[in-house]
Amino acid sequence: MVCLLAVAGQAQGAEPTSARTKYNFNPAWKVYVGEATGAEAPAFDDKRWKTVTLPWAWNENDAFKKDIKDLSTGIAWYRKHFRLPAKDAGKKVLVEFEGVRQHGQVYVNGQLVGEHENGVMAFGFDITKYLKPAPQENVLAVRTNNDWDYKEKKSGQTYQWSNRNFNANYGGIPKNVFLHVVEPLHQTLPLFSGLGTTGVYVYARDFSIPTREATVTAEAQVVNEDATARTFEYEVQVEDADGKLVKTFAGSATTLQPGETKTVSASARLSGLHFWSWGYGYLYNVYTVLKVNGKPLDVVRTRTGFRKTEFGNGVVKLNDRVMQMHGYAQRTSNEWPAVGLSVPAWLSDYSNGLMVESNANLVRWMHVTPWKQDIESCDRVGLLQAMPAGDAEKDVTGRRWEQRTELMRDAIIYNRNNPSVVFYESGNESISAEHMQEMKALRNAYDPYGGRAIGSREMLDIDVAEYGGEMLYINKSAKHPMWSMEYSRDEGLRKYWDEFSPPFHKDGDGPLYKNASAAEYNRNQDTHAMEDVKRWYDYWHERPGTGKRVNSGGVNIVFSDTNTHYRGAENYRRSGEVDALRIAKDGFYAHQVIWDGWVETEKPRTHIIGHWNYKDGVKKDITVVSNGDKVELFLNGKSLGFGTQSHRFLYTFKDVVWQPGTLRAVGYDARNQKVSEAEHQTTGAPVALKLTTLTHPAGLQANGADLALVQVEVVDAQGRRCPTALDLVHFALSGPAEWRGGLAQGPDNYILAKSLPVEGGVNRVLVRTTTQAGTIKLKATATGLKTAEASLKSKAMPQKNGLAEQLPGADLAGSLQRGPTPVTPSFTASRFPVAITSVTAGSNADKAKLTFDDNELSEWNSEGPVAAAWIQYELERPAAISEVAMKLVDWRSSQYPIRILVDGKQAFAGTTERNLGYFTATFPAQTGKTLRIELTGASKSQDAYNIVEITGQKDPAAGGDQPKAKATLGIVEVEAYEKAAGQLAK
């Protein structure tokens, strides 16, 4: 399947003049939490209500303070007073909400305009007939209800995705709101809910990646709401990221009768294109223009990128280059302490950009569609996205399924121009073939040319799906790509280095989870990072280039610690590779090493897990993560030898005795050439605090919603962070700003506290602007340490009568740090499969063919005594077989004593390993045309992984906790391999 693409938004450049205006409708809202009878009326007295700038969740104080299931719910009213400029008289006025949680009823000047109930997606209304003309005041009021169990009015059904485990409940209007003022003849908005319209659709086809060409098409749905027929010309202008005009092209003239709607289109071949790519957020402005009598009447600007995708033969291709997916299954809320999801666009770029910095190429948003700001942010930072509609954990029927298809329809229409969206996810768990076909039909109807695969979790044997893959386990396919929707669930606080560092947390210590051990969810940084590497190894081992049936990667859950379902000691999930303030854990740097490439690692990297500030007498294993072929460790210049390699990237140095100084790791390639290194130094005693501020690239905006992220560190006399410091820091804030604080282990997780400790020598806090511009000062003090101060200046954001023209995120540029898609191959084949032509078996011979049918839901099992537990394959030709890959029945819990014979000669004898997918038997190459696998004794079954579901029950794939012996051999899939020519000598 070959595909392509496009995205919406704003950018700088010579935009054609237009009678159309898009206002930022976020300023100057009044909010009251609770029921307020009559609050829809214009004359209602709201003077004592809280004044806020949207986006703003009324229960934001709960974020990370409370368990997700305890987040505050109920009724909240939002009111907005505004006046339209005289220039907008006689025009259509449309309001766009990016989302309300859960239910929103919208009133204008006391009249109910409409309501929206799904709590996820954008919607809009035509409010023209309800408005008073300039200069009269208008009042828009929204009654919101974020009850977890809110039921749809017409059906009485709850929404599956309003779930107390997954979808953090930030109530009210936690996303942006816009006001569009348009001529009666205009291009519609992509808001199917409320307006029933589909807007602009920009896409590219017929790519030539080598010559940087593609055919670009821009379609626009146009409506004539004038009283007479209107004739217009349709023109498209494409502008590059530097604001230079690339090309202008036009469609034919069109006449619309009163009330008539048509979709118009224009196409042109473009050359010299910069293709959007991983870490290369190159975006174009596409202006679609309606001209009347040769003059622009209506102009829509779509910020988009062009890229080519392919999904087939078991792999994903981006711009003709094979890519193994690696990234994060991130909660869609993507939240921050005491703020929730409602952060400024630059902070979304910072957070999502960190995923790319960790060498992630994909974010799989979990359970519900993300808000537009995060989607556009991923466009800018160059991060591929898997976009769900709405789901909890299973397929549903009836009205609940209809709710899901309606949400998917709306999400596709709203986000089909965003180049970073490459997967549409139809379910967080498997859905039926019939339901998959329904979802595919929606994609084909509303986004036939966007270059996006549609599939679902699992879907291992449903061919209508264009991708699939389980959670936790390794799947392979020669057909549609298989990538894991979630893996590596372990949790651990950033505060816990290891048991030798303050606060001396022994790995695994913590409370039970539903009466079962939760050791895996109370890790320290050492073992958490190591587990990240070990879990990725299984995916890497089956990567593209290792055969015809391959694995297309997986996403680690989660990127940042999140206020959602957890199993560890705290009341939030700590599986992140960064904490809730986006401070990196060791797993972040481990991923930089193991993910640095499209398939094979490309840039040499080495990282030493941990720090080097201990006390005399400490002796510990040092673990290094490196993509080098071997690693040497030096302490104060003296070699401690080479590490023991495991899981390809882990190098262990046993019993290293601490000495103050420099610990340095050096990675070498296969030719013994030094290619990378890393070091830790012992820092001196803590002497001072240090503050570092992070803000919007253009500075802090006094709009009532912008945030500054301020980092505080404990440093030594040389300014180096002291990695074991846990000092309590006291903050004093002055100037036009609001304290939002940070997070740390302790009472209420220190949410909104003015004093909180550093952890590992560092922490961060958030400060929010008011609508008053000025100087903001932050002072940090701690006992025995030199005080630190930081000064920020916020600049005014012009707004008049409740309307602003500066749009959120419009001034943020795309990141081009990784550069365009490389033209070189992303891997060199390491082995080649030898096809199986026929099979026989000692028992159940009629099922034996299921072991090479490329379907992991079918299997063969032997019956009877051990002597009957064999299977024999005829190969397509005599070949020098050196590897046999097997997915065995109960792969996670069973070990099989086997031997492998090639043309009757024993090539391998041993016991298979329990794993998360495939076991590979490796042996000296032996030439033959028959391959026989025999069970040589009873298999043993005992769970090797403590994988616990949210119910507290173990995943049924475990096979039980007690050792079990049985004389049967069970095989799901078998592959025979010979080495690539360049590997034969190795």
Catalytic machinery residues = 486
Give all strands (DSSP E) within 13-110, no chain letters. Answer: 21-24, 29-33, 50-52, 56-57, 75-82, 92-97, 103-108
**Count H helices, E strands: the chain?**
7, 60
Structure tokens at 88: 């907008």
Q: What angle do CA 712, 717, 722 make, to 5 degrees?
A: 50
- Which of 875, 809, 811, 864 has its CA nearest to residue 842? 864
**Cα 744 → chain centroid:** 24
**Distance set, CA 680 to CA 37, 92, 612, 723, 742 (Å):** 63, 63, 6, 10, 27
Structure tokens at 236: 């498209």
Torsion of CA 836, 839, 842, 846, to 10 degrees: 130
Compute the distance between CA of residue 692 and CA of residue 681 in angstroms, rounded to an integer.
22
Compute the distance between CA of residue 810 and CA of residue 301 in angstroms, rounded to an integer.
11
Compute the distance between CA of residue 972 and CA of residue 473 in angstroms, rounded to an integer.
14
Q: Which residue has the tokens 């069109």?
A: 254
Compute the distance between CA of residue 902 and CA of residue 133 in angstroms, rounded to an integer.
87
- Which of 100, 260, 275, 108 has its CA nearest to residue 193? 100
Compute the distance between CA of residue 309 and CA of residue 318 in angstroms, rounded to an integer.
5
- Which of 648, 456, 475 has its CA nearest to residue 552? 475
Q: Distance between the two ends of the chain, CA-based, in angstroms? A: 37
Residue at 261: amino acid letter: T
The 3-state secondary structure of 359-427 reads: CCCEEEEECECCCHHHHHHHHHHCCEEEEECECCCCCCCHHHHHHHHHHHHHHHHHHCCCCCEEEEECC
Cβ neighbors of 770 (< 8 A, separation 6 or more) are 702, 704, 736, 737, 738
Structure tokens at 406: 């309606």
**For strand 103-108 and strand 56-57, is the pairing parallel, antiparallel, or unpaired?**
unpaired
Helix/strand/coil for 357: helix
CB 568 within 8 A of CB 63: no
Cβ neighbors of 112 (< 8 A, separation 6 or more) are 40, 105, 106
Give all strands (DSSP E) within 123-197, no chain letters. Answer: 123-126, 138-145, 172-173, 177-182, 185-187
CB 893 within 8 A of CB 941: yes
Q: Which residue has the tokens 């169990």?
A: 149
CB 334 within 8 A of CB 175: no
**Cα 330 → chain centroid:** 5
